[in-house]
Chain A
């Protein structure tokens, strides 16, 4: 296996230009929404709004302003599939369409997917959705086709500020930690890495440098694997079956003892 590859996204240098979104759409030939007619969100410059089957990159615009709008800041973050080391989507996929590649990334094989949508509800980050053009679940492939050809993903290549950086996870973590230290030293004490260590789903192969709580960026503070409920849920179901059987035995055994309903 090649070395694990991924993205490190430094949100502090993102300028919200959406070049990554455009590059992703172009390279992956993703259709436009609404037949190409512009629909505005009406409350933000963020008109993409969310990741879905035809938006595999989404630049989030977090607008933090005081009520009188005298003070404020923008938090910008280019969101994408996290290519989790322990991937919830891959875990539940019943068709085997979701695979882990030799680059330790997570890819949905569109020709195997039958559109059951189990992965959509399993992903803790709300990344996957159905692409209406294919009728299958789709998301970022971390440009698997480009990686196999020795190229870097379209989005990181297009990013003009190097907010999105591509490389081996080892190297990216190193770079990211240095950047956090630099920011801290400059007085940005809130800087930290989200998903870089193994505690979060074994590590996110697309991790972030953030300067506010995860939920401010619409990221889960504590994402979990869906199978956390499997054992206990199954045992409780067995208990339910045992209780129903027990009631059955009791009622059918002494049925002669009582009058008709």
Chain B
């Protein structure tokens, strides 16, 4: 018998499937759109406010959908609350060293922050009549505090899924410490892209759109570098990706989802007015495929 490249090859796959892939994508959007919106709230001009609101409008439904997806993925969905409350003692269930335990709490608390921002955005637009809710976002001091805490939680929600995969014994996932970093950065790129896509559709021209577009470019470049570092860090385990998944990673993620968008950033005239649209769509497809490949490839070996 050939010796496998790592002792992780003797573990069993947990059969995390489409629901988890979708959650990784939607959860990334929930966290990413929130922290980008917070950034715009703090650094943007007053004319950029609609862009920040857009981020909160995406974040909240996404975090609700995340909870639904995760619950449906359980084999006993009605026991979802066992993640937070110990079912025998009714004491809080909290294991800070287990990313799934910590993540369950973070999702719950972040959901609250996301809801607050969502309501605040609605009230700013006058869709609900609650002047007090407008204070829940910067520049109001209370809003600033809420946004900072929410922003930190948003980063956590975007990245803990990668750390969760690393804190297992499956090949690929647990053979590198870089998955969490990759997921945080990818959450930023897909979120910026979705926001740009929607802003583009509404024909928004505020300066924040331009800044977000440039941010997206830099983040995609960073994501490409971290993805390559991740692949290198796998060492001999890399051979587990010499498969159809590896080909999809190269074509769908590295070339289609990162390489072509970077070329479009660099040569802005390539697609004319459809440039922003093209970049955003490709980055979103790449971000989805990245999660799909990471989830499925490690379970096939």
Residues of A within 8 A of B (CB): 50, 88, 91-97, 109, 111-118, 120-130, 135-136, 213, 215-216, 218-224, 226-227, 229-230, 232-234, 236-237, 239-241, 243-245, 247-249, 251-253, 255-256, 258-261
* Identity of the chain B residue whose Cβ is nearest the Cβ of A254 in the assembled complex: B211
* Identity of the chain A residue whose Cβ is nearest the Cβ of B36 in the assembled complex: A248
- The answer to whether A234 and B163 touch (CB under 8 A), given A240-B180, A244-B219, A255-B211, is yes
Give B1-24 as 1s and 0s: 1 = Cβ < 8 Å from A's Cβ atoms: 101100111111111100000000
Cα-based distance from A226 to B171 in the complex (angstroms):
12
- The answer to whether A95 and B12 touch (CB under 8 A), given A230-B163, A237-B163, A261-B209, is no
Cα-based distance from A227 to B164 in the complex (angstroms):
10
Q: Categorize the interface residue count of chain B.
A: 35 or more
Q: In angstroms, how far is the closest chain A Cβ from the Cβ of B267?
A: 12
A-B contact count (CB 8 A): 232
- The answer to whether A251 and B218 touch (CB under 8 A), given A97-B82, A126-B11, A219-B10, is yes
- The answer to whether A124 and B276 touch (CB under 8 A), given A112-B87, A114-B80, A241-B184, is no
- The answer to whether A241 and B159 touch (CB under 8 A), given A114-B76, A252-B215, is yes
B244-292, CB < 8 A from A: 268, 275-276
Please tell me if the beta carbons of A92 and B168 are within 8 angstroms of each other in the complex: yes
Please tell me if the beta carbons of B188 and A94 are within 8 angstroms of each other in the complex: no
Contact of A223 among B7, B40, B208, B211 (CB under 8 A): B7
Please tell me if the beta carbons of A117 and B16 are within 8 angstroms of each other in the complex: yes
Instruction: Note all chain A residues with C-beta closer than 8 A to B276.
Output: 261
* Identity of the chain A residue whose Cβ is nearest the Cβ of B15 in the assembled complex: A117
Apart from A96-B86, A252-B40: 17 A-B pairs, beta carbons within 8 A:
A114-B74, A120-B13, A122-B169, A130-B75, A135-B75, A220-B7, A223-B10, A237-B160, A237-B162, A240-B159, A240-B184, A245-B35, A252-B211, A255-B207, A255-B210, A259-B210, A260-B209
Contact of A221 among B3, B99, B181, B208 (CB under 8 A): B3
Residues of B within 8 A of A (CB): 1, 3-4, 7-16, 35-36, 39-40, 43-44, 73-77, 79-80, 82-83, 86-88, 93, 95, 97-101, 104, 155, 158-160, 162-164, 166-170, 173-174, 177-185, 188, 205, 207-215, 218-219, 222, 226, 268, 275-276
Instruction: Note all chain B residues with C-beta closer than 8 A to A215.
Output: 1, 3-4, 10
* Identity of the chain A residue whose Cβ is nearest the Cβ of B39 in the assembled complex: A248
Please tell me if the beta carbons of A260 and B210 are within 8 angstroms of each other in the complex: yes
Contact of A128 among B12, B16, B177 (CB under 8 A): B12
Instruction: Note all chain B residues with C-beta closer than 8 A to A96.
Output: 82, 86, 88, 93, 95
Interface of B is mostly: helix
Please tell me if the beta carbons of A230 and B97 are within 8 angstroms of each other in the complex: yes
* Identity of the chain B residue whose Cβ is nearest the Cβ of A99 in the assembled complex: B88
Please tell me if the beta carbons of B182 and A118 are within 8 angstroms of each other in the complex: no
Instruction: Note all chain A residues with C-beta closer than 8 A to B43.
Output: 248-249, 252-253
Cα-based distance from A47 to B169 in the complex (angstroms):
26
Instruction: Note all chain A residues with C-beta closer than 8 A to B86.
Output: 95-96, 112
